[in-house]
Structure 1
Amino acid sequence: MLELLKQEFRNFKSPLYRNSIYISLASLTTAVAGFLFWAIAARLYPAEDVGVASAIVSALNLTFQLSMLGMNFAIIRFYPEYKEKAVSSALLVTGVASVVLSIAYGLLMLNSESFKEFGWDFLGLFVLFSVIGTFYNVLSTYAIARRQAEHAFLQNLLFAGRFVFLVFLTSLGVLGIISSFGLGLILGVGYAVVMVGIPTIKMDREFIRGAFNFSVGNYLANIANIAPNYLIPTLVLSMLGKEEAAYFYMAFSIGNLILFVPNAINTSFFVEGSHGLKNMRRTLKKAITFSYAYLIAAIIGVWSFGGYVLRFFGEGYVGGVPLLRLMAFGGFLVVLVNFALTVLNIQKKVKDIVAINTLKAVLFLGLSYLLVPKMGIMGVGLGWIGAYLGVIGALGVIIRKEV
């Protein structure tokens, strides 16, 4: 393994690692910028405004995810075959989906007591930023699919500068925070249009026919993948109370953040596999080896400094250290499963991916529900690991059937 790592360090300019580095930097920038944005907003705006704005931004982020319709996966997988036709079709499809979903979501929000003070201007702003945010995601994926992930990173870097607008828009209250978020998106989209380019927005029926099942399948699989992360905090809150829920949330969030480097390598591997690898097995071995080497370093860091990191949020948060350590070790299972799913995506075996992600969601939620009352927040960590062990078993069955 050591010799393989030495060889790979010499090949750091290869597309696999070059894109991985920029995707990792983009993910890190997103995480740090989000924390900075809300920290500054909390100092400049009343707590009530921050609370309402955080709910609206969460709603915007949800519309971004739902509006993609799996097209982010389809762009990467089919770009080598359809080139700009894939991107132009994706912009049209996701743009229409974003308008429909954001109007529906915005009307529901306006009917809620918390948002009745806002009028139709708010709905227009919500729809506008939803569409811009969806285009932001499509164009970022476009850069990655073209093996130009440095543009995705710089796009994220400009979006990270959204906190600057907070200073000048304090008089607008809630809308000032939302507008700052939206202006950051506009900066990112503007950069992508100038530096990466944007194809004419039109529908390519051949691409839609070829990518439909693939994108819909990945869309469903992605919903199954992210749903537990939205549901588990509520489960912990209802079972253990507000204090334990806070300790869990910080440890769980940092535990997931640790995986941003392996996730970036995995995305880059997906791009290279979609372009046609001559020796996929060898490249996969390299990618997993490098991800595991990173995880070993991360585990040492978590074991040595995890308590200090959590103590930054308050003395009581140190109680989340055992969960954080457990999640760091569980990363070895996560990496194995995620790369296996990427191989299935390259092979266009979408039904297997939907089945695997659904199984993982059911196991994670079910095991956590059973273990949390007995073991506290550690029950979530054990449920998480148990879910991935179950998925690895299912993957073994799928491989045996193919053989």
Structure 2
Amino acid sequence: MSDRSVLRKLMRDLRNPLFRNGYALMANTAITATLGMGYWLLATRFYTPEEFGRGQALITAMRLFASLTALGFVGALARFIPISGRRTGGVILRGYGMAAVTGGAAALGFLLTLPVWGDIYAVLGTPAMSLFFLGSVVVWAVFTLQDVALTGLREAAWVPVNNLVFGLVKMGLLALLATRLPEGGIFVSWMIPTAIALVPINFLIFGILVPRHVRETEQTARPPSLREMGRFLAGDFPGTLSMLAIVYLVPVLVAARVGEATFGRFSMAHTLGCMIELLAMNMAVSLTVEGSFDRSMLAANARRALKRALMIITPIIGVALVAAPLILTIFGSEFAVEGTMLLRLMALAVLPRVLIEIYLSSLRALGQARRLALVQIGLAVLVLTSIMALFPFVGVDAVGYGLLFSEILVALLIFSSLRKILRYGETGQPRVMRRSSEVA
């Protein structure tokens, strides 16, 4: 295929909101991964291995409590922002508030039980660090949901712009604090730019995009009632919470079992594996948004999203399998020794995860919260159980083996239902075509 035909195909895709949002989120993941690698590479040069591991652990714990609650509302915001009309601003603010309160409460519980979580978190024992950690959880919760708000408003193109600026400022501050704050500089350099980024992006959301969205959808909006949103969250939130435990709770549990330097090396492979997995989720989030706008197009959009996701992700998985040791050697030879197998296993696990994410996003668009929760909770139980069972035998590689085994099994179990959605959309059944004589 010539460069010109590829360009024409891309321009045609960008006129479709499903692909435009999906590609923007994938570009954001690529930017985040690239700048993230640069950030952590700088950290290995400017900070000791122990401080590197401690910084990773603090950021991981912060993201656990912020994201387990904030990302629990991702499905609801992606589902309801497109149809909320005049209530759109309130829906977004309500999501922000609930995520901040629940995340802060979870973080407070963590701080009150700090000795249970291992010596690596002892630095949070002072009042000043405890308050900074609590504030960081609240800030990250809002930072996470603002990207979802932009996607729900069909303006995901702003997400990579925001994270590009955020990533560059973060790297500069990391280097600046290396001499001024050799202990704690990693965590501080991560959070200060995050807090600053909230101001311009939320001005954009509430000052420009929400009013425009209200004007454009006032004729077709179907603002959800609190009861409808509550019923959806009751089904979606526990399942989403379970799924996010896979990403954010697992590293915290690993940190409690290994030393600081070992955790730092584990975290790099785990972070890169999660970035590949996030690509599978990007197109799926866009599918939820477009499925909420127009359910009649769900089958066609689901097929398109699955095809594009596999087309983009499969080569990336191939690169990760072949070049995992070379990629990790950038951070040091010990990173490659301890992380190559983990990165390869996590990359392979993304293939079945693509099928799972397309299925889950279709269920969100259809509002089938009970089935959604069942699949998500089942997958989380499988992953956590298998990791804990394998950890004594294969160490940190248990994370990769557990993910691969669990996601293949769940993909096989949901495959028949996914095929029905891909063929028939919201009904799950073939449409019966009536004869012209019957219509007459």
Report Cα offsets for 1:216-275 as digits up to 9, x if no partner: 433321232233445666888999999998887655543443334332111111111122
The residue number in structure 1 matching 2:378 is 359
Match of 2:355 among 332, 336, 340: 336
> Following TM superposition, by how much is the alpha carbon of 1:346 offset from its aligned partner in structure 2, in angstroms?
1.0
Which deviates further from its counterpart, 341-350 or 110-119? Answer: 110-119
Distance 1:67 1:363 in 2: 21
Q: 1:17 — aligned with what?
A: 19
Q: Which moved more, 1:185-194 or 1:357-366?
A: 357-366
Alignment partner, residue 227 of structure 2? 209
Shift of 1:145: 0.6
1:32-70 deviations in Å (ceiling 9; x for gaps): 333433443444455555554443323321221134272
- Listed as ranges, the matches of 1:121-270 within 5 Å are 121-160=128-167, 161-169=169-177, 170-197=179-206, 207-229=225-247, 251=269, 253-270=271-288
**CA RMSD of superposed structures (Å):** 4.0
Matched, 1:290 2:316: no
Is the counterpart of residue 101 in structure 1 residue 106 in structure 2?
Answer: yes
**Per-residue CA distance 1:304-337 (angstroms, 9 max, x = gap):** 4344224434556368656655554443321111
Deviation at 1:149, TM superposition (A): 0.8
> Which residue does the alignment assign to 2:217?
none
Contact kept, 8 Å, 1:365 with 1:383, in 2: the verdict is: yes
Which residue does 1:77 correspond to in 2? Answer: 79
Provide the TM-score with structure 1 as the length reference.
Answer: 0.80
User: How big is the shift at 1:156?
Assistant: 1.5
- Does the CA contact (< 8 Å) of 1:244 and 1:377 recur in 2? no
The correspondence for 2:407, drawn from 388, 397, 403, is 388
> Residue 68 of structure 1 aligns to a residue in which SS?
helix
Structure 1 regions of 5+ residues with no counterpart? none
Does 53-62 or 240-249 show the bigger shift? 240-249
Aligned letter for 2:13?
F
* Structure 1 residue aligned with 2:292: 274
Q: How far off is 1:368 after superposition?
A: 4.9
In terms of mean alpha carbon deviation, does 71-80 or 35-44 score higher? 35-44
User: Alpha carbons of 1:393 and 1:50: their partners in 2 closer, same or farther (altered >3 Å)?
Assistant: closer
Structure 2 unpaired stretches of 5+: 212-222, 421-426, 430-440
* Alpha-carbon distance change, 187 to 273 in structure 1, aligned in 2, over 3 angstroms: same
CA contact (8 A) 1:20 1:261 kept: no
Check conservation: 1:166, 1:180, Cα contact below 8 A.
yes
Query: Which segment drifts farther, 220-229 or 107-116?
Result: 107-116
After alignment, is 337-346 or 135-144 more displaced?
A: 135-144
Q: Distance in 2 between matches of 1:61 and 1:367?
A: 23
Identity %: 22
1:31 to 25, 30, 33: 33
* Among 78, 86, 93, the residue aligned to 1:88: 93
Whole-Å Cα distance in 2 between the matches of residues 348 and 103 of structure 1? Answer: 33
Q: 3-state SS of the aligned residue for 2:157?
A: helix
Contact kept, 8 Å, 2:68 with 2:245, in 1: the verdict is no
CA contact 1:110–1:118 (8 Å) conserved in 2: no
Aligned residues: 394
Deviation at 1:17, TM superposition (A): 1.6
Deviation (angstroms), 1:101: 3.5
Moved more, 73-82 or 174-183: 174-183
AA paired with 1:18? R
The amino acid that maps onto 1:37 is: Y
* Contact 2:53/2:264 (8 A) holds in 1: no
Query: What is aligned with 2:436?
Result: none
The separation in 1 between residues aligned to 2:35 and 2:61, in whole angstroms, is 18
Of 93-102 and 374-383, deviating more is 374-383
Q: Residue 52 of structure 1 contacts residue 174 of structure 1 at CA under 8 Å; is this kept in 2?
A: no
In structure 2, relative to structure 1, the CA distance for the partners of 1:296 and 1:104 (3 Å cut) is: closer
Contact 2:62 2:136 in 1 (8 A): yes
Whole-Å separation in 2 of the counterparts to 1:258 and 1:10: 25
Kindly indicate whether residue 369 of structure 2 is the aligned counterpart of residue 350 of structure 1. yes
